[in-house]
Amino acid sequence: MSNSKRGLTIALLCYLLWGVLPAYWNLLAGVNPLLIFSSRVVFAFLFMLIVLPIARRTKVFWETLKNKAAMRWLVPASVMIAVNWGLFIWAVNTGRVLEASLGYYMNPLIAFLFGAAMFRENCTKLQFAAVALAFTGLLISVIAYGSFPVVSVILALTFGAYGVFKKKSQTDPIASIAIESLLMTPFALIFAFVFMRDGIMAVSIAEILLMVGGGAATAVPLVLYSRAINEIPFTTVGFLQYISPSLTLAYALLTGESITAPRLVSFIFTWLGLAVFSVALIRIAKNKQSTCEVG
């Protein structure tokens, strides 16, 4: 399998996992969201400590940790993903769910723009048409929301920046996620024990086990994401991200949540954009294949 096909497969798997994870986190509905955030960081790090020797990446981990050029990108990447997670949980906890979800629909557009501007990635007319459709859907959501979505924009920018820093680092996916979780763990532990000691004592055994499993649920998609951005264009990785919120929407509808007419129209434009972008990827793959055959 070529790098591009493997990268696409990895990206699809990553977004499928992110799309179904809300069903997992819903099992922890009775736990303070801020405590869930802290536990995700800590147990993700513990999970990566187990994975490193199994995947034979312990040496790479230490080499990367000592590599100043790599750490120049991984440190800000850790900050960006921590801000993104923290802001998302704060938004959910303060009743800004709509604004938070809108941010994840902005992510692919931000990633596409970053890929085209910062990595000079060539994009076809069909891909730009797909972006135009998705942007139309986003615009409908913003108008329906009624005010400028500050939280949405920050969520989209921080995750987009996270992806840029990871692609710039070009580090081993397993080692890089282990380092990121290592950098965030001390702050997560301090935050949990200083601000939520009472909340920790109130957690049940079943909830503790779910939070332990949440470490793997957090780390695995991030490892896949890190691998994907090392192998395929950033614009492609970003645009395929529409798969995750679309699956999350499907889950929300299955669990009884309703959808407004403007939001439905917005999603239709987004899905059309995703379909057009998929056609563009297929055409690019066919052109590469025919070029190879001629050569």
pLDDT attached to residue 152: 82
pLDDT attached to residue 294: 42
Are the CB atoms for 246 and 267 separated by under 8 Å?
yes
Q: Would you say the pTM of this structure is higher than 0.85?
A: no
Q: Which pair of tokens denotes residue 252?
A: 């929300």
pLDDT attached to residue 98: 66
pLDDT attached to residue 245: 76
Calpha distance 119→44 (Å, rounded): 30
DSSP 8-state class, residue 95: T
Give buried/exposed letters for 124-157 (b at 16+ CB in 10 A, else e). Answer: eebbebbbebbbbbbebbbeeeeeebebbbbbbb
Each residue's pLDDT, cut to its tens digit, for the chain (295 residues) gives: 566 788 889 999 999 998 888 788 888 878 887 788 889 999 999 999 999 999 999 999 999 999 999 999 999 999 999 898 878 777 766 667 667 777 777 787 788 788 878 877 777 888 888 888 888 887 887 787 677 778 888 988 999 999 999 989 989 999 999 999 999 999 888 888 776 666 677 788 999 999 999 999 999 999 999 999 888 888 788 778 878 877 877 777 777 767 778 777 877 887 888 788 878 877 776 776 554 444 4
Neighbours of 170 (CB within 10 A): 12
With tokens 């986003």, the residue in question is: 138
CB neighbour list of residue 20: distance below 8 Å, 6 or more residues apart = 247, 251
Packing angle of the helix pair 58-66, 173-195 (nearest 10 deg): 80
Q: What is the pLDDT of residues 70-104, one digit of tens each?
A: 999 999 999 999 898 878 777 766 667 667 777 77
Calpha distance 219→229 (Å, rounded): 16
User: Residue 256, Cα to own-chain centre: how many angstroms?
Assistant: 25
Nearest to 34 by CA among 157, 187, 221: 187
Torsion of CA 63, 68, 69, 73, to 10 degrees: 100
Are the CB atoms for 269 and 133 separated by under 8 Å?
yes
Which amino acid is located at 102 in the chain?
L
Q: Which pair of tokens denotes residue 227?
A: 């691998």
Average pLDDT along the chain? 83
With tokens 């995700």, the residue in question is: 40
Q: Which pair of tokens denotes residue 239?
A: 């645009």
CB neighbour list of residue 237: distance below 8 Å, 6 or more residues apart = 7, 11, 111, 115, 163, 225, 228, 229
